[in-house]
């Protein structure tokens, strides 16, 4: 039978009375090991509750709500946290439970909007969740190839309306039929004033007269079935939490089960809470570099990746150009994500001053000389495409090593 635990944002838990009531209830139910699954606010609250535990029991004894004996039997509360939040806003873990599923909802929504945008040559502004954290908007921007992203940690320069319109206008002039802009609900400018989806729409309509619509995704981002990643993340985190509680002693500091690369690890709850609060303080102080840095390496890398891949034109050549011919090909069966890899490969090759080359249709294509340079704009729209747009074959190079070598040599000379 289904026994839902459900969830709540309990404001009274923030008060002393609320905490006293919670402590009394736990003691009366004989609970001294607690797993808290929640976001930044929940884990901050759990950290405080654990810190206050002895004082709370003392107060309950003084007010005669608990006997000295019962309080003594519950002198320690072990707490293990797991970060469940679609926002991926907690420092200390690479991913929070629920973020991947929310991202998936966003991708589905953008994909579903593309046909209308394409047909009517419209600009769509998608508002996604993230009151204080731009992770969803940023990563959604990368994976949907959005033209512009507004996030709270990295506000645009004050001339953003011009920058935005230059980009959108330039793209339309090169034949792009639609534009997608992703706005985090917490997006702000460099003075800390909100940038709303409607304000962005007004800029696009006033300056470019583009047919523009706003779509607010709202709570659909929290719903639906969890993705494979979230299912496995939840399974692993839950199991690790039990092990952490079993290892806990009265002197063990409360921990959070978090994801470090591919490993489930335990990190101190207090340090994570403090670092997460430091991000808020950095944003309040308008120290955007620090805010991005405190969000962690994966956030920084995502921001860099977005800034690199979203350019509509290749960057101007730099002095350090090495000018290597870098070829990419598929061998074997296609799978999702291959085209995104070729797009990144292409753009990063150009970005670093090299010459990307596509070998079409695997080894068979190479033997037939199907070798062509790939340009910056050739790979636009590839991230969301399934299969292998370059074509692939299962043929291995040992079919004819000498002929393969000869083709590579020809390619080197002619590309
Ligand atoms: O805090 C997580 C979050 O998903 C935010 O990104 C969002 O603004 C908020 O929850 C929405 O909360 P509610 O469901 O109370 O409207």
Arithmetic mean of pLDDT, 55-73 = 96
Check if 87 has its Cβ closer than 6 Å to any atom of ligand 1.
yes
- Please report the pLDDT score of residue 312 as a whole number: 65
Give the count of beta carbons closer than 10 Å to the beta carbon of residue 149. 27
Confidence of residue 317 (pLDDT cuts 50, 70, 90): low
Residues 6+ apart with CB under 8 A from 141: 148, 149, 182, 306, 310
Q: Which residues have CB under 8 Å from 203's CB, separation 6+?
A: 161, 164, 165
- From CA 187, how far away is CA 169, in angstroms rounded? 23
Decide: 95 and 82 in contact? Cβ < 8 Å. no
pLDDT digits (tens, 9 = 90+) for 373-413: 999 889 999 999 999 999 999 999 998 899 999 988 887 66
Q: Determine the pLDDT at residue 299.
A: 94
Q: Is the CB of 86 under 6 A from ligand 1?
A: yes
pLDDT of res. 305: 92
Dump pLDDT digits (tens) for 1-15: 577 889 988 999 999
Does residue 321 carry a pLDDT above 60?
no
Per-residue confidence band for 322, with pLDDT thresholds at 50, 70 and 90: low
CB 71 within 8 A of CB 57: yes
Q: How far does the centroid of ligand 1 lie from the alpha carbon of residue 244, in Å?
A: 29
Answer yes or no: is pLDDT of 16 > 70: yes
Name which residue leads in pLDDT, 174 or 217. Answer: 217
Long-range contact set of residues 296-303: C-beta below 8 Å, sequence gap at least 24:
296/91, 296/94, 298/94, 299/135, 299/138, 299/153, 302/135, 302/138, 302/139, 302/142, 303/138, 303/154
pLDDT per position as a tens digit, 244-257:
999 999 889 999 99
* pLDDT above 80: residue 319: no
130 lines ligand 1 (CB under 6 A): yes
CB 369 within 8 A of CB 410: yes
pLDDT in tens, 166-193: 999 998 988 889 999 999 999 999 999 9
Q: Please, are residues 133 and 153 in contact by the beta-carbon 8 Å criterion? A: yes
Alpha-carbon gap, residue 97 to 84, rounded angstroms = 4
Question: What is the per-residue pLDDT for 346?
Answer: 96
- Whether 112 has a pLDDT exceeding 90, the answer reads yes
pLDDT at 130 over 90: yes
CA of 87 to the centre of ligand 1 (A): 8
Which atom in ligand 1 lies closest to the alpha carbon of residue 186?
8
In the prediction, which pLDDT does 41 show?
A: 87
* pLDDT value, residue 407: 87
Is residue 107 over pLDDT 70? yes
Share of the chain above pLDDT 70, in %: 96
Average pLDDT, whole number, for the chain?
Answer: 93
Q: How many whole angstroms from 140 Cα to the centroid of ligand 1? A: 17
Asked if 35 and 241 count as a contact pair (C-beta separation under 8 A), the reply is: yes
pLDDT at 91: 92
Q: What is the mean pLDDT of residues 274-301?
A: 95
Higher local confidence (pLDDT), 327 or 353 = 327
* Of 87, 89, 100, 147, catalytic: 87
Catalytic annotation present for 87 = yes
d(Cα 244, Cα 266) in Å, to the nearest integer?
8
Q: Is 187 near ligand 1, meaning CB less than 6 Å away? A: no
185 Cβ closer than 6 Å to some ligand 1 atom: yes
Cβ neighbours for 77, distance < 8 A, ≥ 6 positions apart: 26, 32, 33, 34, 49, 50, 53
Q: What distance in angstroms lies between residue 217's CA and the mean position of ligand 1's atoms?
A: 12
């Amino acid at each position: 039978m289904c026994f839902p635990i459900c969830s709540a944002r309990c404001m009274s838990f923030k008060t002393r009375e609320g905490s006293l009531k919670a402590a009394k209830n736990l003691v009366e139910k004989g609970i001294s090991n607690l797993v808290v699954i929640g976001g930044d606010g929940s884990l901050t609250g759990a950290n405080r509750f654990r810190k206050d535990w002895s004082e709370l029991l003392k107060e309950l004894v003084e007010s005669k709500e608990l006997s000295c004996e019962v309080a003594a039997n519950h002198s320690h509360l072990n707490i293990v946290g797991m970060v469940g939040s679609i926002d991926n806003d907690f420092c200390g873990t690479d991913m929070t439970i629920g973020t991947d599923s929310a991202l998936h909802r966003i991708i589905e929504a953008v994909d579903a909007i593309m046909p209308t945008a394409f047909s009517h040559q419209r600009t769509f502004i998608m508002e996604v969740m993230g009151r204080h954290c731009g992770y969803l908007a940023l990563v959604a921007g990368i994976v949907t190839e959005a033209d512009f992203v507004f996030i709270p940690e990295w506000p645009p320069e004050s001339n953003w309306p011009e920058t935005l319109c230059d980009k959108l206008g330039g793209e339309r002039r090169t034949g792009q039929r639609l534009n997608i802009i992703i706005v985090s609900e917490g997006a702000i400018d460099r003075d800390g004033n909100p940038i709303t989806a409607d304000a962005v729409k007004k800029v696009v309509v006033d300056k470019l007269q583009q047919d523009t619509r706003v779509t607010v995704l709202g709570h659909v981002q929290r719903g639906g079935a969890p993705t494979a990643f979230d299912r496995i993340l939840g399974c692993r985190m839950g199991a690790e939490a039990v092990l952490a509680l079993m290892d806990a002693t009265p002197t063990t500091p409360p921990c959070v089960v978090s994801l470090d690369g591919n490993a489930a690890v335990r990190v101190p709850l207090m340090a994570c809470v403090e670092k997460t609060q430091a991000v808020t303080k950095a944003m309040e102080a308008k120290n955007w570099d620090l805010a991005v840095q405190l969000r962690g390496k994966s956030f920084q890398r995502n921001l860099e990746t977005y800034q690199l891949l979203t350019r509509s034109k290749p960057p101007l050549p730099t002095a350090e150009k090495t000018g290597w011919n870098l070829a990419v090909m598929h061998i074997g069966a296609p799978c999702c994500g291959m085209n995104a890899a070729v797009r990144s490969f292409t753009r990063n090759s150009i970005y670093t001053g090299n010459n990307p080359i596509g070998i079409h249709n695997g080894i068979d294509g190479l033997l037939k000389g199907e070798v062509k340079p790939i340009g910056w704009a050739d790979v636009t729209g590839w991230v969301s495409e399934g299969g292998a747009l370059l074509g692939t074959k299962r043929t291995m190079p040992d079919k004819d090593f000498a002929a393969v070598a000869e083709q590579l040599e020809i390619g080197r000379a002619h590309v």
